């Protein structure tokens, strides 16, 4: 019922006794199943009130350069996109500094709302130097991965990115797009993406409902090297 959206997010589900009757299994079996779903963050409990359907979160692996569509599909959600705005603009001083282009150079600017299972999760603002992807905005970008378009149509080999994440409060425009109250906790993810020739091909600002996103880091402990260039072992 959760996967089929018969139960809405934050909706209270039936009690253990009711579920036991519905599915004709013991309460012990029901309790075990609910405990497992709580551990997987599919459900959550509030003491004295019951068990509720959790809002799903898309996981971003920080060590990997990937787009929203790729991340969402791999985690079993259905991605979709609504284009709010796409146009060619001239690079201002701030844009030129981010993209390493000249002031006044042609830039493609795209605003999108990214959905997971038809729920608005991220509001994105993307900037692309026109010289690397001419006529990008003439392409139908709804429900498509721009990274895939850059790679397949423009033969851009994306190599790495630099990303900064910071906490923000959602403003009125973001509130309208993400369907959450003004002043809610949000996350701003600012990314600069590079190709194999070290050219900056994208600058993006993604505003995410903090309840919908989580981040996965892989950290390795650095160890000193010996005279032969090998790491010391503990």
Rounded (to 5) percent helix, strand, coil in the chain: 25, 35, 40
52 vs 75: which has the higher pLDDT: 52
Asked whether 65 and 158 are in contact (CB, 8 A), the reply is yes
What spatial distance separates the first Cα and last Cα of the chain, rounded to whole Å? 51
Out of 28-37, 60-69, 168-177, 211-220, give the one with best mean pLDDT: 168-177
Taken as a whole, the chain contains a residue count of 234
Res. 229: pLDDT tops 60: no
Put residue 131 in one of left, alpha, beta given phi > 0 → left and psi -120 to 50 → alpha. Answer: alpha
Q: How far apart are CA 187 and CA 215, in angstroms?
A: 11
Out of 1-5, 12-16, 54-58, give the one with best mean pLDDT: 12-16
> Mutual orientation of helices 27-39 and 16-23 as an angle, nearest 10°?
110
**Helix, strand, or coil (residue 207):** strand
Q: How far apart are CA 209 and CA 229, in angstroms?
A: 45
**Closest by CA position to 204, among listed 124, 145, 129:** 124
Give the pLDDT score at 159: 93
Q: Hey, CA dihedral for 205, 208, 213, 215, is it positive or negative? A: positive
* Mean pLDDT of the 132-138 span: 97
Asked whether 137 and 87 are in contact (CB, 8 A), the reply is yes
User: Which tens digit of pLDDT belongs to each residue from 58-74?
Assistant: 655 555 666 666 666 77
Give the pLDDT score at 191: 93
Give the pLDDT score at 150: 95
2 vs 29: which has the higher pLDDT: 29
Q: How far apart are CA 37 and CA 34, in angstroms?
A: 5
* Mean pLDDT of the 25-36 span: 92
Structural domains in the chain, CATH included, are 16-53 (1.10.10.10), 58-216 (3.40.1410.10)
If you compute the radius of gyration of the chain from its CA atoms, what whole number of angstroms results?
22
């Amino acid at each position: 019922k959760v996967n089929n959206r018969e139960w809405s997010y934050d909706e209270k589900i039936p009690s253990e006794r009711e579920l036991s009757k519905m599915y004709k299994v013991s309460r012990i079996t029901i309790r075990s199943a609910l405990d497992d779903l709580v551990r997987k963050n599919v459900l959550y409990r509030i003491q004295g009130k019951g068990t509720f359907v959790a809002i799903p979160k898309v996981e971003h692996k920080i060590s990997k350069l990937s787009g929203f569509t790729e991340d969402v599909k791999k985690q079993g959600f259905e991605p979709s996109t609504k284009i709010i705005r796409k146009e060619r603009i001239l690079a201002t001083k701030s844009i030129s500094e981010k993209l390493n282009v000249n002031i006044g150079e042609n830039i493609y600017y795209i605003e999108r709302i990214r959905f997971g299972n038809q729920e608005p999760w991220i509001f994105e603002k993307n900037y692309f130097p026109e010289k690397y992807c001419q006529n990008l905005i003439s392409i139908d970008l709804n429900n498509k991965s721009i990274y895939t378009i850059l790679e397949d149509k423009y033969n851009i080999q994306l190599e790495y990115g630099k990303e900064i994440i910071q906490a923000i409060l959602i403003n009125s425009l973001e509130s309208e797009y993400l369907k959450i109250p003004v002043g809610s906790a949000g996350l701003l993810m600012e990314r600069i993406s590079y190709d194999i020739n070290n050219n900056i091909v994208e600058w993006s600002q993604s505003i995410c409902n903090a309840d919908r996103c989580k981040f996965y880091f892989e950290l390795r402990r650095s160890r000193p090297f010996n005279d032969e260039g090998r790491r010391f072992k503990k």
